[in-house]
Amino acid sequence: METMAKHHRNEKVYDVVYGYLLQSGDELEATDVYDSTNGKWESCPCPGLVIGKGISTRWVRSYKVHREI
pLDDT of res. 7: 84
Is residue 24 a part of any domain in this protein? Answer: yes
Please tell me the total count of domains within the chain: 1
Domain-located, residue 10: yes
| Residue 56, in any domain of the structure | yes
In a domain, 20, yes or no: yes
39-53 pLDDT, tens digit per residue, is: 888 999 999 999 999
Decide: pTM greater than 0.75.
Answer: yes
- 1 falls within a domain: no
Per-residue HEC secondary structure of the chain comes to CCCCCEEEEECCCCEEEEEEECCCCCECCCCCEEECCCCCEEECCCCCCECCCCCCCCEEEEHHHHHHC
Q: Which range marks the domain in which residue 27 is found? A: 6-68
| Arithmetic mean of pLDDT, 56-63 | 89
pLDDT digits (tens, 9 = 90+) for 7-59: 888 776 677 889 999 999 999 999 999 988 888 889 999 999 999 998 889 99
Predicted confidence at residue 29, as pLDDT, reads 96
